[in-house]
Chains A and B, each alone.
Chain A
Amino acid sequence: MIKDHDVVVLGAGLAGMRAALEAARAGADAAIVTKVHPIRSHSSAAQGGINAAIGETDSWESHAFDTVKGSDYLADQDAVEVMCQEAPRDIIEFEHMGVIFYRGPDGKLGTRAFGGASQARTYFVGDITGQALLVTLYDQILKAGVKVYEEWYATALHMEDGACRGLVALEMVTGELHLLRAKAVIVGAGGLGRLYEPSTNALICTGDGYALAYRAGAPLMDMEMVQYHPTTLAGSGFLMTEAARGEGAYLLNSLGERFMKRYAPNKMELAARDVTSRAEATEIAEGRGLDGNVLLDLRHLGPDVILRKLPQIHEMALDYLSIDMIEDPVPVRPGMHYQMGGIKTDVDGATAVPGLYAAGEVACVSVHGGNRLGANSLLDTIVFGRRSGKVAADYAKNTPASTGGEVLLRSEQERLRELLSRPYTGETNAGLRLELATMMDKLVGLYRDEAGLLEALDKLRGFKKRYQTIAVGDKGRVFNQALTFSLELGYLLDCGETIIRSAIVRTESRGAHTRTDFPERNDAEWLKHILLTCRGEEEPELSYIPVTMTRWKPEVRTY
């Protein structure tokens, strides 16, 4: 079936829904395509809060400086300025929509402390901030009557004369392939956490948006910048929010020491995430860990703070490790959490491809640079989601409707048919994905070096070959998840390749990208972004753009 809209948004997390809502407000006929129901989106897993300089003693400049310093000076400062200036209004708007933010005694919004921030400027709802924002935004989408194609799985972007004019999507419940034509497409499809094992990310975070845009010609930027969160639960790898440390929790090694005093004597546990994760890894490597973990100690906070402000992580530690954090410290370790890089956009979400916009984790504006500060990701989604929605709607007003696309629809049908009819060779999706993700964590994780990265690239080439032979183990028409997993693995392989290639090129250590063979930051050579542009089956094209600096010169980064 073919359907026409002004703006089609891929993804229904905070960035996607915020973009769709804004496009609808600007008068566009906006529709959302999402592979899961909007409420299932991974934005709901954001726990700790959202940053803005609202308080009288705070300023957007201070927030922006902390963000730039946190990014290890790789963030584009003009973009950071936009985000930090607009943050207060966007958060207040969500308050007006009904988010039940924590209040101070005066009835105004109250804050908690977060990592890498010079002031407590994180606004929150318990430890379910992402969920509270997501359900409120979903309810606004319902109120506005925005069309949602839920459990529709995007397989390709529809390109016409070099511009993006819609997408092809598989309706899971019927097994039918549809062409959704649009004058503008906004990608807000979230992260790629499943490329790593373990990861804090949901099983649905498979890099679909990056790969679709990349294949359509949009360059990916800063892909080597993969954030490891300092506190992920031992075993399962689930996220233990930074808000725990924001509320005052300690990190302890096997000797019971608050080891952060050696790495960040001023900020201690509230140093930036890259710094804290590396500190933990050092402690563990030097034999002061416990079975590959360190301890997150909340006991001194008392049951009242834990149960009122951190109930969800309390429940998770109980459910998955049988540890009551009121009584005992929780074993945690660094775990893959967030992709700072993504589809290169300007501050309005526009990519290099006309008609194609991106926002949220999948985009790279870049406001996070080499390392994202905690509670800046929710902010990124709502500020740049809104901006891209507005600009895409305006663009759609002056753009004629697309009439083509049937050819793509037929070729996609053919591609899926071929995938489904491949004979079984003994290779499975799940097996290959696990091999890929374990390899990424080992060779392209917290620490990297040239030998390891070259080995990773070599292995990835092998995985790509094997991927071409994988059979889909389900031939059913309805809700064929084996088919979508197979497509997802293809997306992950593309993402993995761009990460490895960028990591090989950046011969310095900056933010989350730590090269043991190049341990120092090299501002003379590397105050620039790495971009990769897809060239079909050939090697991607490599290019650079300088970091935009407005008012903050790079300094030595200590916490």
Chain B
Amino acid sequence: MQFTIEVGRYSPDGTYAESAVPGAPFPAPWDRSPARRYQTYTVDLPEHAVVLDALIAIREYQDQSLAVRCACRSAICGSCAMWINGHSHLACKSKLSAFTKDGKTRVESPPSMPIIRDLVCDMKPFWDKHLAVKPWLQNKQPVPPPNEEYRVSNASMEELIQEVSCISCSACLMDCESFAVNPDFLGPQALAQAYRYAGDPRDAETKERLAEYSKPGGIWDCTHCYECVTQCPKGVAPLDQILKLRKMAVDAGFTNNAGTRHADAFAESVRESGRLNELTLMPKSVGFFNIVEQIKTLPSAFNLIRAGKLPPLIHKKIPGVNRIKTIFERVGGRFK
């Protein structure tokens, strides 16, 4: 079967611009260098072939200058995450037939990561974040003698298989909406690994970890867009792990932060009035007496007014709000 692949090419040497047929230009913010462009290839492959098969076929028999990372070809090594039709996927797990749109498949290095060459991006932001969560066991004392294991339940180990299944491909970070606007956000993979250790019954520093992860850039900077859950090829569901960390952090008393206040204000508003009071949400989140941060939010407020998005000044309760309160009481916990 014939497949048409449009590959985002880039060479820091600038060699492609002169030597090869120019294709369509890259969209902003990439479209700055003449060395960046799309190149179209046609490959003949079986119907069930994956995108990586096509890239390997191109590299081996059509154009040896195409750079692409790959090793295992079976979604284990995590090398080949890239943008396929505008979202991050593993090339070895993406069937060409499913990713052919308007007669072609577009493949490129994700714009969220620095580019090195062609489909090879600089993974430094990813590994820096991984390192930042201290991804190693801080052994609970006493460590058993060298011929004895920690006695823990199998359930507590199986609970962590989901996070250990992470192959560090970075598909989650590449498409993370929060990372796109805030490079300091630790991101889905690192926070999933943070939970992998914080949730380990053999770890001694759960409290220290939760304090660290509750800081700006940590668990509360996730915006719940679910991109990481959608894009993860191994079912790690990083957002779920972030939510587990939030619950652990709040239970451990790390509540003096905008994230917890935001969640509290949200729940309180719904409990008291049956709907969200958007007017008070922002001030409550940053803290009423945090004058500096309050002032920082003013430009956003003006923007909302200008866009006609200012919430009503008088917040009304919905009819039957008492029944909402009953729900909160039944559910119990922090907000009852």
Contact = CB atoms under 8 A, between A and B. Distances in A.
B146 A92 contact: yes
27 contacts: A36-B77, A37-B127, A39-B167, A40-B77, A42-B72, A44-B72, A45-B76, A88-B147, A89-B147, A92-B148, A96-B137, A98-B203, A100-B157, A100-B200, A107-B151, A108-B151, A125-B157, A132-B164, A203-B70, A203-B72, A238-B74, A312-B76, A319-B93, A474-B64, A476-B15, A481-B68, A482-B65
B282 interface: no
Contacts of A41: 77
Interface of B: 11-13, 15, 48, 56, 59-61, 63-65, 67-79, 93, 116-118, 120, 122-123, 127, 131, 135-137, 139, 143-144, 146-154, 157-158, 160-161, 164-168, 197, 200, 202-203
Interface string A169-186: 000010000000000000
A477 interface: yes
Contacts of A312: 76
A377 B146 CA distance: 22
Contacts of B139: 96
A473 interface: yes
Contacts of B154: 102-105, 107, 110
A40 B79 contact: yes
**Interface size of A as a range:** 35 or more
Contacts of A93: 146
B153 A107 contact: yes
A322 B48 contact: yes
Contacts of B48: 320, 322
A139 B74 contact: no
Interface of A: 36-37, 39-42, 44-45, 88-89, 92-93, 95-98, 100-110, 125-126, 128, 131-132, 135, 139-140, 142-143, 173, 202-204, 236, 238, 308, 311-312, 315-316, 319-320, 322, 428-431, 472-482
| Chain A CB within 10 Å, residue with most, of B60, B143, B152 | B60
Contact of A428 (B13, B60, B67): B60
Given A40-B77, A107-B152, A320-B74, A428 B164 contact: no
Contact of A37 (B68, B123, B197): B123
A428 B63 CA distance: 11
Contacts of B77: 36, 39-42, 44-45, 202
A105 to B, nearest CB: 8
A473 B77 CA distance: 27
Nearest to B149: A95
A428 B78 CA distance: 28
A154 to B, nearest CB: 17
Given A203-B71, A312-B76, A478-B67, 5 more contacts: A40-B69, A97-B137, A103-B154, A473-B65, A479-B117
Contacts of A315: 75
Nearest to A142: B131
Contact of B11 (A44, A316, A476): A476
Contacts of B202: 98
Given A42-B72, A430-B60, A101 B65 contact: no
Contacts of B167: 39, 44, 131
A40 B75 CA distance: 11
A139 B135 contact: yes
B61 A430 contact: yes
Contacts of A431: 60-61
Contacts of B158: 100, 102, 308
